[in-house]
Amino acid sequence: MLDLKWIKENADQVQWTAEQKGIQLSVTKLLELDRTRRQLLQEIEQRRADRNRLTGQVREAMLLELNDEVRRLQENVRENNDVLSNQKLELTRLEQELRELMLLVPNSVSPDTPIGASDQDNVLVRSVGTPREILFPLLDHTTLGQLHGLIDIPRGVKTAGSRNYYLRGAGVRLHRAVQELALDLLSKKGFELLEVPLMVREEALVHTGFFPLGMDQTYRIQDEDRWLVGTSEVPLINYYSDEILDLRKPLKLAASSTCFRSEVGSAGRDVNGLYRVHQFAKVEQVVICENDPALSEELLQEITANAEELLQLLELPYRVMAVCIGDMSQKTYKQYDIETWMPSRNSYGETHSSSNVHEFQARRSNLRFRDKDGRLAYCHTLNNTAVASPRILIPLLENHQQEDGSILIPEALRPYMQGLERLVPPSSL
């Protein structure tokens, strides 16, 4: 959690940030609780001192065989202990309430973060590539998927309910190919690849800032303290929790994992197709570095460039957006979204996200390093979606469709597709 002293010194800023990020938090109440807690702590310490003093007086009275005095003092001790016991219970309640409020405190945002209320207020940073003009009847990814036998949504819904799907044949190979391409790209750039747990304890999600506010987006294993992750960012950050790290070079981690999200709050949105589904695969980049703002900003640009390089290898037009404060999560200090051109929408759709979190996750996870003077300090953490599938299949299929119904395979993917250069509808074979 963020430092309470810092919150106190920046109360107005914290309250404003919470309101901009849509978080229901009263900083005034938080600080009042802290004052009450500290006052109660002083009273408890005084009660403990009184107990020790009275206990000593009881021993002295016993030695002098002053029985009436012993009984009187023992009654005082009992009364003091009763009050002390109630104060301890009240302290526990106050500390729990204070912790709940502290877990709602948002990270501050970078000075260059745009002000705005939603993704409509995000600001264009750059566009790369020009959307291709399609002069023949456009097929969307679901139609292309059915035509080629790649995607079966009706049977996915029959088996698992809405927002579920099957991938088939070359659809599975494409799904895996983009992940393998991303992993190879990151491995060449010095990222260590990990296979990670898909079920984690609640504390792991608290450590990374996904809880308590994201509980409704997360699936829980019934009757267990285990939750299905919506991103491998959670197990990657927790890999080093409670450790003191050697950060002479930033730690760069990557994982490809299945992810699960409940999509609460998105009823009626993107129900058809593969854009918003409950289960998907994601290759995630996580970087842990010294708490140097200039360094973490440089690394933010680097991991964003990695995702852009992948899109360039996939030969897809995209744009990078600076995310506004109202479209940010609680934990984020600075964020870019990458949106890829999706012809069936006649617009760009979000496919990637990059975030600099500064110390927010490190404080919760107790990730520390020794600075040049040997003092312990909290790290900075960053994360980025290198690729998420099957969402990336939407622009991949739609942008590369041809007039004859075939789909070109980008050259960079062909080694992962057994050299296949294009997908041809079965009826055309």
Catalytic residue among 365, 391, 398, 406: 391
Q: Is-catalytic flag, 347?
A: no
Catalytic residue among 53, 168, 176, 276: 276
Report domain 4-102's class: mainly alpha
Catalytic residue among 353, 354, 365, 389: 353
280 neighbors 389 (Cβ within 8 angstroms): yes
Q: What pLDDT digit, counting tens, does each position of 282-340 carry?
A: 999 999 999 999 999 999 999 999 999 999 999 999 999 999 999 999 999 999 999 99
Please give the pLDDT value at position 428: 59
Point out which residues pair with 348 in neighbouring strands.
Answer: 341
Q: Is-catalytic flag, 355?
A: no
Q: What would the two tokens of residue 356 be?
A: 């600099």
Average pLDDT over residues 252-263: 96
- DSSP per residue over 214-278, as a string? TGGGS-B-TTSS-EE-S-THHHHHHTTTT-EE--SS-EEEEEEEEEE---TT-TTSS-SSSSS-S
Please give the pLDDT value at position 266: 67
Instruction: Select from 157, 232, 137 the least CA-distant residue to 191.
Output: 232
Please give the pLDDT value at position 235: 98
Please give the pLDDT value at position 196: 98
Catalytic residue among 180, 203, 297, 350: 350
How many whole angstroms separate alpha carbon 287 and alpha carbon 403? 43
119 neighbors 339 (Cβ within 8 angstroms): no
Angle among Cα 414, 416, 421 to the nearest 5 degrees reads 20
Largest CA distance in the chain: 109
Average pLDDT over residues 9-22: 98
Q: What pLDDT digit, counting tens, does each position of 51-90 carry?
A: 888 888 878 878 887 888 878 888 888 888 899 999 999 9
Separation in Å, CA 181 to CA 177, 188, 415: 6, 11, 9
Q: What would the two tokens of residue 329 be?
A: 């999560």
How many whole angstroms separate alpha carbon 178 and alpha carbon 310? 9
Q: What pLDDT digit, counting tens, does each position of 401-417 carry?
A: 999 999 999 999 999 99
Q: Is-catalytic flag, 257?
A: no
21 neighbors 330 (Cβ within 8 angstroms): yes
Instruction: Return the domain boundaries, the chain.
Output: 4-102, 119-428
Please give the pLDDT value at position 84: 93
Instruction: Select from 49, 64, 109 the least CA-distant residue to 360.
Output: 109
Strands 251-260 and 192-194: parallel
Q: Is-catalytic flag, 276?
A: yes
End-to-end CA distance of the chain: 60
Write down the H helix ranges in 103-169.
141-147, 153-160
CATH 1.10.260.40 fits 119-428, yes or no: no
Q: Is-catalytic flag, 187?
A: no
Q: What is the pTM of this model?
A: 0.93
How many whole angstroms separate alpha carbon 392 and alpha carbon 74? 74
How many whole angstroms separate alpha carbon 287 and alpha carbon 386? 13
153 neighbors 142 (Cβ within 8 angstroms): yes
Q: What pLDDT digit, counting tens, does each position of 360-398 carry?
A: 999 999 999 999 999 999 999 999 999 999 999 999 999
Mean pLDDT of the chain: 95
How many whole angstroms separate alpha carbon 380 and alpha carbon 249? 13
Phi, psi of 362 (to 5 degrees): -65, -40
How many whole angstroms separate alpha carbon 261 and alpha carbon 216? 9
Instruction: Select from 286, 315, 312, 308 the least CA-distant residue to 299.
Output: 286
Please give the pLDDT value at position 226: 97
Please give the pLDDT value at position 21: 98
Catalytic residue among 233, 256, 257, 261: 261
Burial of 248 (0-12, 13-18, 19+ CB in 10 A): exposed
Separation in Å, CA 112 to CA 15, 263, 375: 19, 30, 30
